[in-house]
Structure 1
């Protein structure tokens, strides 16, 4: 059905999800896409963005295509939808060609309401050929900031989405993101070919979330103190995989129940640790930023950033995983003097010299034995650790160099490989039936495999642990243990999934001196990263402006109020009348500068005034960009004040 029918959409919401009504801007977004409009929705973490495309998908004829880079989210949402009786499917790395074709054919036949697909896959000839024969109700672009070079997580594969638009020009696009500056929102709409600008934005205010910065020279002690002071489920974010294990051990030594998580772990290990944390079997998840996307745990009371994230966008999204149940929660950033040097070092790793990038490209060709003038279309599993040992490179620089080479079109660098477990029986079916004295768990797993995956006696085949888990009631870790035991008994051979990056040559290998790295992909992006790093450092160091106001202003919400619960606001409450003094001082500063001249700071902050109040008032006005500063000289930036002054 076309158009928006309030009664119909509310019935779908209630019948499938049990909610009595939409909340926030859900209704506005749903009405917009139902009426066929290209729509951008800015909804902070926990805002309920999945319903903005899932409800229209059930109301409209055809298949809703959902483009997302998050394999874990695809699997979770497909599983959740199927449990509700909604036909959904996903295509991602690790699926066999036969599985992909069958999934796409089901969409053509109209049996699938939602198809989740990674941005890399939409560029394939197979997908685009099948797409021409599909009735598509809606194209949803999740994590839409990834299409913008000004976003904090630009991914070149997102640019492929324009090709879908050319095949299905009349199908509306819904772009969704949790965090985006004004510049990014404009870029998203332009790159997705919106017929006209159309954006709905939820306020980023989180009234129950207290933002705190703890300045300390001993982060370990501060971390232990905070975790022992605040009860409830927690996440601790770090930058490096190695450090997650170190911090996990420290927490264990202090009797704090925890586990750790990063992208390099086996899939079954990640699934089990995520489940244990979600089910409150462990209290603290120590993780890199690989953890959290698509994870819906409402009762997280505490998110701690042990190290500074790259950007305020990343920080806001990760911190926003706390308190999604609406109850009081804390987002704590630990800051020490050494963080500024670490940030500068990180930028160097993110942007190795152009000479180093060319050298890494050449060494990768040696590593895979790809001759100059050949290699186009060839894909290789990439062992970064072995490569770095062989050619004496730093792993972070290699990772960054490959991303830059991908943006320039020399290679495709897929870091989200998610190959399934592959199994082959080493004995025939009759021998298998003769085996006795197996545990009940082993019997259950074997029975499930024989029912669901019959070709495993012929050749290696992929299996779905999720299907076996549903059949047997066992956890994925228990299934993994059974497989390992059967492997040791030589009953079967299994190859567990490995999360290994994949490098594909998108053009024939060129010589190092022929590589061109553009200003846009190097100098401009490096300058952008430096600016974003300065913003996160400013946030950490600024202790006289409400934390919530600092974040909200960064995302364009100028008319915000002090939250009253962050560390800055609580510090002010010790002095009655302080807020009124600051407001009065702000007016005095504007009055002084309204003559249009530059004034020395000594004129602005006479010794007769409370210097802390003066500095705080000036900081507010600088953050609001009402005034500007040139070393010791201040001036009025907002000329409306001059105009008003002349009229008076």
Structure 2
């Protein structure tokens, strides 16, 4: 393993491997098919990157996440390792050129989505590559019992016939025992070496806290723990609202969601990474490739869709080994709200078909046409035009994406069109008076020679790259030129790009995938039921509850979760309960009001209220105030 360790130190700057990275690498180098179940933050990518670097040839990495593919290839290129990703929206000619590069350009990694394997010509081209390892990332997607099942993943098994001597390495961070067995069966790998690291995080305190006033509770938590924190919310509006509320309380906060422009994502991420903002409020779009070891607190202020996602998101706290907190804030109204958000927004076959037909009509795709066509897409505009509920529509689009019917890229884009409206000699005069804008303007004129005669769509990143400027600088110059009536300028915002991967066939398409829709809806309901049980179960250790869900039945109490702390506490003196009863004689009060008057610590207050509720001395009113019974 000395060579492997040298590569780790040279490229990734780590001194040693984490358990069980070295064992997995050895298994792969020995030519064994391998299944690795490693919790989030466990360093899965190292397990295929290092053995690939130690051998001649190229590693094929199959991943469903476009953002993660881009992130990993960019990171490899930064450290001088040649890597290519075949992401969505690339033409057939471009794919062919990239595969030529893989064959003759000494590349070490080729990333592609499972949908690419559905094109026979792509598989034929792969056969000619010197592939030394096939890594299947997010391998739970192979299983119909996995939380993100994608039928295209079933095609991976056919690679075994073309590469019988090349080891498969299946990697996932979240898989129940049922999913693990199904993945191994569906990939067609026999007698794999299985490495399963315990899901236990001894330094992570899982807390489920009842909170009528969540913002007040968040403020308490963040002031008590002023280190870097993540707050997960369900939608983009909640991102902005929560960050703004925290800022008004004097807590430095920023936000992150899939609809932000790449420059704004990078700016906000940098604020948080450099700890100029204590908190980043985010949707589940945030997390991939995030490597910040000193996150102290991860707070979920709404119930998550499933425990798989919750475990991954919560697990971003405490990666430095110090004590950290994964907190789920809960109140009685959350269940109904989350059911509306999650269960009632699951599309049925009828809605899916109607939405798909309207989507094709929206882009004027005729029956039997549309394959490989790509469009900028504003989901809200689409929903308004056809009167569709946004969340159910988004879930339908995501389902079509997972089935490979379309590719949905949720990256903010801005379509910019420009035309110069003054004569060229006047433009030259402007440039001579404004030399700081010269390079950008000349780049526009060189790149788009017809820009004087017709309205021209501008590729902002391309202009920035050619002129050596930042995208924000290019936009600033365009705005200035527009204000001075030198150009006509129009920008149309889109929050997604949609690519049609198949020809339009309406009934035939939807009928083929509808059985998967029914199975996935049933699975999502079961998974959400497990979330409700986790949030409501006050009879056992929270860590043990999560471990049990993932198949670890022989775990011990963690002694640091909300349940264990409550059990280990000395009984609250009767005076606490008496004080609360005395206060409630004057008027019904919320827990916040009771705390203000009583000065009880959080845990003591919750324990006393729980005791009084259980002994029927008080009750909770619909307005979340306590009153005497």
TM over 0.5: yes
**What TM-score do you get using the length of structure 1 for normalisation?**
0.77
- Give how far 1:78 is off: 2.8
- Matching residue within 491, 498, 502 for 1:506: 502
Distance (Å, rounded) in 1 between the aligned partners of 2:366 and 2:521: 31
* C-alpha spacing 1:231/1:244, structure 2 compared with 1 (3 Å): same
**Cα gap change, 1:269/1:533 in structure 2, threshold over 3 Å: closer, same or farther?**
same
Cα deviation, residue 407, structure 1: 6.6
Q: 1:180 offset after TM fit, Å?
A: 0.8
2:530 aligned partner: 535
- Contact 1:209/1:329 (<8 A) preserved: yes
Q: 1:273 aligns with which of 268, 272, 281?
A: 268
Cα deviation, 1:572-596, whole Å, max 9, x if unaligned, reads 22249xxxxxxxxxxxxxxxxxxxx
Contact 1:362–1:511 at 8 Å: present in 2 too?
no
- In structure 2, the residue matched to 1:262 is 257
1:28 aligns with 2:47: no
SS in 2 for 1:300: coil
**Structure-2 separation of matches of 1:249 and 1:418:** 21
Higher deviation after alignment, 120-129 or 216-225:
120-129
Corresponding pairs, count: 565
Which of 202, 208, 228 is equivalent to 1:207?
202
Q: Work out whether 1:412 is the aligned partner of 2:409.
A: no
1:116 partner SS: strand
User: CA, structure 1 residues 553+385, in 2 after alignment: closer, same or farther (shift >3 Å)?
Assistant: same
| 416, 419, 431: which one aligns with 1:435 | 431
Alpha-carbon offset, residue 455 of structure 1:
5.1
1:266-325 deviation digits (Å, cap 9, x = unpaired): 222222222222222222111110111111111111111010111111000000011111
Tell me the residue number matched to 1:290: 285
Deviation at 1:93, TM superposition (A): 3.0
Give the Cα–Cα distance (whole angstroms) in 2 for the partners of residues 201 and 223 of structure 1: 35
Q: Is the contact between residue 211 and residue 567 of structure 1 (CA under 8 Å) also seen in structure 2?
A: yes
| SS of 1:250 mapped into structure 2 | helix
Q: Are 1:53 and 2:72 an aligned pair?
A: no
In structure 2, the partner of 1:304 is 299
Match for 1:168 among 142, 163, 167? Answer: 163
Paired with 2:239 and 2:548, the residues of 1 have a C-alpha distance of 32
1:398 partnered with 2:393: yes
Cα distance, 1:199 vs structure 2: 1.6
Q: Decide whether aligned partners of structure 1 residues 437 and 271 sit closer, same or farther in structure 2, where only a CA change above 3 A counts.
A: farther
Q: What's the CA shift for 1:334?
A: 0.7
Q: 2:238 aligns with which of 239, 243, 250?
A: 243
**Shift of residue 511 of structure 1?**
5.4
Q: CA deviation at 1:360?
A: 2.5
* Cα separation, partners in 2 of 1:97 and 1:463, compared to 1, 3 Å: farther
SS of the residue 1:435 aligns to: helix
> Is the CA contact (8 Å cut-off) linking 1:91 and 1:117 kept in structure 2?
yes
Q: Hey, what does 2:313 align to over in structure 1?
A: 318
User: Is 2:34 the counterpart of 1:39?
Assistant: yes
In structure 1, stretches of 5+ residues that fail to align are: 1-5, 577-611, 613-648
* Residue of structure 2 equivalent to 1:3: none
> What does 1:461-540 align with in structure 2 at a 5 Å threshold?
468=465, 477=472, 481=476, 485=480, 498-502=494-498, 504=500, 506-510=502-506, 516=511, 520-540=515-535
User: Which of the residues 356, 380, 384 maps onto 1:385?
Assistant: 380
Q: Distance between the aligned counterparts of 2:32 and 2:488, measured in 1?
A: 53
In 2, Cα distance between equivalents of 1:485 and 1:78: 36
Tell which deviates more after alignment, 78-87 or 477-486.
477-486
Q: 8 Å contact 1:123–1:163 — kept in the other structure?
A: no
Moved more, 275-284 or 328-337: 275-284
Q: Which moved more, 1:376-385 or 1:63-72?
A: 376-385
Q: Which residue of 2 aligns with 1:363?
A: 358
Change over 3 Å in CA distance of 1:500–1:279 after alignment to 2 = same
TM-align CA RMSD: 3.7
Q: 1:506 to 1:519 in 2, by over 3 A?
A: closer
Alignment of 1:177-196 (within 5 A): 177-196=172-191
Return closer, same or farther for 1:13/1:363 CA change in 2, 3 Å cut-off: closer
Moved more, 85-94 or 313-322: 85-94
CA 548–436 in structure 1, closer or farther in 2 if over 3 Å, else same: farther
Supply the distance in 2 between the matched residues of 1:392 and 1:131 (Cα, whole angstroms): 44
- Conserved 8 A contact 2:406-2:499: yes
Aligned 8 A contact 1:148 1:188 in 2: yes
The structural deviation recorded for 1:550 is: 1.0
SS of alignment partner, residue 44 of structure 2: coil
Per the TM alignment, residue 142 of structure 1 is displaced from its structure 2 partner at its CA by 1.6
- Using a 3 Å threshold, how does the CA distance of structure 1 residues 299 and 497 change in structure 2: closer, same or farther? farther
Indicate the residue corresponding to 1:104 in structure 2: 99
SS in 2 for 1:569: helix
Answering whether residue 219 of structure 2 is matched by residue 228 of structure 1, we say no
2:566 is paired with a residue whose SS is: helix
Contact 1:424 1:457 in 2 (8 A): no
Change (3 A) 1:485 1:291: farther
**C-alpha separation in 1, matches of 2:413 and 2:119:** 18
Tell which deviates more after alignment, 423-432 or 335-344: 423-432
Picking from 253, 261, 270, the partner of 2:248 is 253
- Aligned position for 2:328: 333
